[in-house]
Amino acid sequence: MSVDAPSKKPIAEAVEVPTFQITLRIERYNPEFDTESHYEDYEVTVHGTDRVLDALHTIKWDMDGSLSFRRSCAHGVCGSDAMRINGKNRLACKTLVKDVNPDKPITIEPIKGLPVEKDLIVDMEPFFDSYREIMPFLVTTGHEPTHERIQSQADKDRFDDTTKCILCAACTSSCPVFWNDGQYFGPAAIVNAHRFIFDSRDEAGDQRLQILNDKEGVWRCRTVFNCTEACPRGIEVTKAIAEVKRAIITRRV
Amino acid sequence: MQTHQYDVVIVGAGGAGMRAALESSGRARTAVLTKLYPTRSHTGAAQGGMCAALSNVEEDNWEWHTFDTVKGGDYIVDQDAAEIMCREAIKAVIDLEKMGLPFNRTPEGRIDQRRFGGHTRNHGEAAVRRSCYAADRTGHMILQTLYQNCVKQGVEFYNEFYVLDLVLAESEAHGGEPAVAGVIAYELATGEIHSFRAKAVVLATGGAGKVFKTTSNAHTLTGDGMGIAFRRGLPLEDLEFFQFHPTGLAGLGILLSEAARGEGGILRNSEGERFMERYAPTIKDLAPRDIVARSMANEVREGRGCGPNRDYVLLDLTHLEPAHIDAKLPDITEFARTYLGVEPYTEPIPVYPTAHYAMGGVPTNTDAEVLRNNTETVPGLYAAGEVACVSVHGANRLGTNSLLDINVFGRRAGIAAAKFAQDAPWVEMPGSPEQHTLNLLEDIRGRAQGERVADLRRTLQETMDRDVQVFRTEESMTEALEVVQQLKERYQHVVVQDKGKRYNLDLLEAVELGFLIELAEVVVLGALARKESRGGHFREDFTKRDDENFMVHTMAYRTPLGANEQRGVSIFTDKVRLDYKPVNVTRYQPMERKY
């Protein structure tokens, strides 16, 4: 088939963008072979619009297939690829290479506070365990209405921010309290408790507040704000935690 | 190898899988296997809404919704299935609200509704407000709500378990016909093989968008469920019908919801013209996706594209109030800022069609039972969601109908599978059911040298984008077929660098590529044989719909894998056979499709 056949259609391409060389310094660890982790440097050519995830794919697909990391949607909604990029928790698919000072080596490490399984992959089970403990589901009693429950837009807006959570663990694994105390629920679990405590339809707010009033609950929060800075969804995590703290004091005392 | 036994095994934990699990786990011992974590599933990327004729903001009824669905699918929709979906839509939305889904609300506090492409009042008079939504993250809220309810109900999940084979066995209890015995799964964390014996299996693995390069789909959408069924000799229906969503971020393919146009956004070409007025005078930018995508591609082809390469058009939201954009479209406008550096308040957004949705899939009836030919089902096997073809989407799915599909047919699959498992006898697993999977994995892992997975995948995806996208011809597809068939050969020599057991995602990608190549061939063969244009399948050499010859569903079959696959034997087959199945027409005779 000739190149100028009428069926040839243009494949959408981004605007001409500069390409440049970067170095990724990645923390590697495979317990099948390694006793401890080490750093490896990779030189990668990237485009101006590339995400850190694209650079990681270039390494995995064309240089070193053993590099392991989770990813799925690649545009910041599935929460698979939280990692430490130059020391800050970010989603690799939502971080453009050009925005992380590509002149110096870019350090990529697994998120902290959860056991490393291999390279950038951590054990997410402790994280989800905390989430499941705060009763992350709507609890209602009495007769179910035939139609939908009535809720004003204002009442819905009350907890709108915390419904955006994608459970990526960027907040929880940025929290110094969580690093030092694996028992602490962590910001993500509190955010998801907030989502139900402030939902006008829910009737288990008191139970959740009681759970979070525990010694490993909200009172461990030292208001460091790392979580708010780390959240790729722009959730005001520290504010949500403060609202839960206030609710514990005003409702139960 | 570890062995497990459950009444029902659900493969996939997106919307369809978890909706099925909520029904099934209360009635029968159920396990849900997913190659991800449930909340990573691509249901979460859906944005605009879920249609149901609630009539909360204006007059509507489910019969209009059914008509729109049939017409939107260019009349190759099975109308009995569409009717069920649109009728049950109302309950499906209310169910989600009761489960806690935070819908946007009307001033009266009821579920708010907005316009969406192809959804009309009274059989096409004007656009209707039918889509129930939660800002532009409706899919995210559905996925979270379903997972929350699975937690509440104590549903048992096996996360990061990749199902690689479906075990069917001839069963005396089922008249000597093939019936479900279980599935074989590969545990990503350890590299261990697990055998799950089950009375019923529900496939809910989603789509196969990674057949294409420019796609809104996740990296993990590699058609696994379709692939494992196909390799076991089960048919795939209508795979040539693939939806290209009009508004992907140019060059990236990231989805920008049709809700942007439902909220008043307008598509413009390089001359600033609202070109959809020419292609769909009545509903303009809210025409169905196939029509809008083709119109956009046509504008670009005729030289009215934008940008330095004139290869995209613009989605203009600049006339909308920033507060309105923030309230209704916060996520997609952030995508434009993050990935293209475009400020949607003041600048139009570069967009171009992106591969989005497989209308076809594993054929089922309306109880989600999988068909093994035009009329007979496989006892114990169910499918729902994008992996399935029931067929409610026909040749072109309407926006929001996928979130509806997963809820309605996910629920039906869960109920039917549990009910079947309660009554049915166990089917014996054949000896060494894991052998095929072991061979498949060890052949790839054991290979010392060969071609890289990524090189083959790039060739596949670029070829499909170039030759089998919005515009298709005999010539382009013949070329694509040749490339795909070469790839089948080259696939026998792919090599992975990671030889380990733990989280060997290198190996996982190699297996996924095998499914993609096999499915791409079915797409191309079906499209070559369909010498007409219908919905998402547009042939420049046959530009008209041909109801006389092609008002039928394609059914593609391959030679099943042998019971004792030997090492080194190709997992592919040369023989893909095409057959056809009648369309179920109830009340709507095919008409010319105008908007």
A166 contacts in chain B (CB < 8 Å): 39, 44, 140
Angstroms from A48 CA to nearest CA on chain B: 10
End-to-end CA distance of chain B: 57
The structure tokens 């969406």 sit at B116
Give me the residues of B, 77-96, that contact A with CB < 8 A: 93-94
Measured in degrees and rounded to the nearest 5, phi and psi for residue B308 equal -60, -30
Give me the residues of B, 298-337, that contact A with CB < 8 A: 300-301, 305, 307-309, 311-312, 331, 334-335
What's residue A8's pLDDT?
35
Angstroms from A20 CA to nearest CA on chain B: 18
Give me the residues of A, 79-138, that contact B with CB < 8 A: 79-80, 94, 96, 117-119, 121, 124, 128, 132, 135-138
Residue A3 touches partner B, C-beta closer than 8 Å: no
Domains and CATH numbers, chain A: 19-121 (3.10.20.30), 125-140+154-250 (1.10.1060.10)
As a whole number of angstroms, the distance between CA B280 and CA B296 comes to 12
Measured in degrees and rounded to the nearest 5, phi and psi for residue B178 equal -65, 135
Residue B460 touches partner A, C-beta closer than 8 Å: no
Based on DSSP, count helices (H) and strands (E) in chain A, helices before strands.
8, 7
Size of interface A-B (CB pairs under 8 A): 216
CB contact under 8 A, B140 and A149: no
Q: What separation in angstroms does the CA of B428 have from each of B9, B29, B176, B431?
A: 16, 18, 12, 9
Give me the residues of A, 18-57, that contact B with CB < 8 A: 30-33, 49, 51
The separation between CA B25 and the C-alpha centre of its own chain, rounded to angstroms, equals 24
As a whole number of angstroms, the distance between CA A159 and CA B253 comes to 31
Q: What separation in angstroms does the CA of B49 have from each of B104, B117, B244, B328?
A: 10, 11, 18, 11
Angstroms from B447 CA to nearest CA on chain A: 14
Q: From the CB of residue B138, how many other CB atoms can be counted at a distance below 10 Å?
A: 27
- Sequence-separated (6 or more) residues with CB below 8 Å from residue A97: A22, A46, A50, A51, A52, A54, A55, A106
Nearest CA in chain A to B313: A12
Q: Encoding tokens for residue B127? A: 């656009």
- Sequence-separated (6 or more) residues with CB below 8 Å from residue A253: none
As a whole number of angstroms, the distance between CA B371 and CA B393 comes to 17
Q: CB of B492 within 8 A of CB of B570?
A: yes
Residue B476 touches partner A, C-beta closer than 8 Å: yes
Nearest CA in chain B to A99: B338
Measured in degrees and rounded to the nearest 5, phi and psi for residue B184 equal -115, 130
| Known catalytic membership, residue B231 | no
DSSP one-letter code for B281: T
Q: CB of A167 within 8 A of CB of B140?
A: no
Beta bridge partners of residue B316, listed in sequence order: B266
CB contact under 8 A, A152 and B105: yes
Q: With left for phi above 0 and alpha for psi between -120 and 50, is residue B368 left, alpha or beta?
A: left
A40 contacts in chain B (CB < 8 Å): none
Facing residue for B502 by CB, picked from A32, A80, A137: A32
Rg of chain B in Å (alpha carbons): 23
As a whole number of angstroms, the distance between CA B350 and CA B356 comes to 17
Q: CB of B440 within 8 A of CB of B571?
A: yes
Residues B62-89 as b or e (16 or more Cβ within 10 Å = b): bebbbbbbbbbbbbbbbbbbbbbbbbbb
Among candidate residues B115, B197, B268, B289, the one labeled active-site is: B289
What's residue B574's pLDDT?
79
Instruction: Give the strand pairing for B113-121 and B30-34.
Output: unpaired
User: 3-state DSSP helix/strand/coil percent for chain A, to nearest 5?
Assistant: 35, 15, 50
End-to-end CA distance of chain A: 78
Per-residue pLDDT of chain B (595 residues; tens, 9 = 90+): 999 999 999 999 999 999 999 999 999 999 999 999 999 999 999 999 999 999 999 999 999 999 999 999 999 999 999 999 999 999 999 999 999 999 999 999 999 999 999 999 999 999 999 999 999 999 999 999 999 999 999 999 999 999 999 999 998 988 999 999 999 999 999 999 999 999 999 999 999 999 999 999 999 999 999 999 999 999 999 999 999 999 999 999 999 999 999 999 999 999 999 999 999 999 999 999 999 999 999 999 999 999 999 999 999 999 999 999 999 999 999 999 999 999 999 999 999 999 999 999 999 999 999 999 999 999 999 999 999 999 999 999 999 999 999 999 999 999 999 999 999 999 999 999 999 999 999 999 999 999 999 999 999 999 999 999 999 999 999 999 999 999 999 999 999 999 999 999 999 999 999 999 999 999 999 999 999 999 999 999 999 999 999 999 999 999 888 754 555 557 888 789 999 999 999 999 999 998 9
Please give the share of chain A, as a percent, with pLDDT higher than 70: 92
Encoded amino acid at A101, one letter = N
Residue A65 touches partner B, C-beta closer than 8 Å: yes
CB contact under 8 A, A124 and B189: no
- Angle between the B505-529 and B474-491 helix axes, to the nearest 10 degrees? 150
Facing residue for A71 by CB, picked from B219, B307, B335: B219
Facing residue for B97 by CB, picked from A61, A148, A159: A148
Nearest CA in chain A to B301: A9
User: What's the pLDDT band for A216 if we cut at 50, 70, 90?
Assistant: confident
Beta bridge partners of residue B126, listed in sequence order: B121
A1 contacts in chain B (CB < 8 Å): 475-476, 478-479
Beta bridge partners of residue A122, listed in sequence order: A116
A30 contacts in chain B (CB < 8 Å): 500, 502
A119 contacts in chain B (CB < 8 Å): 503
As a whole number of angstroms, the distance between CA B65 and CA B57 comes to 15
B104 contacts in chain A (CB < 8 Å): 153, 156
Residue A253 pLDDT > 50: no
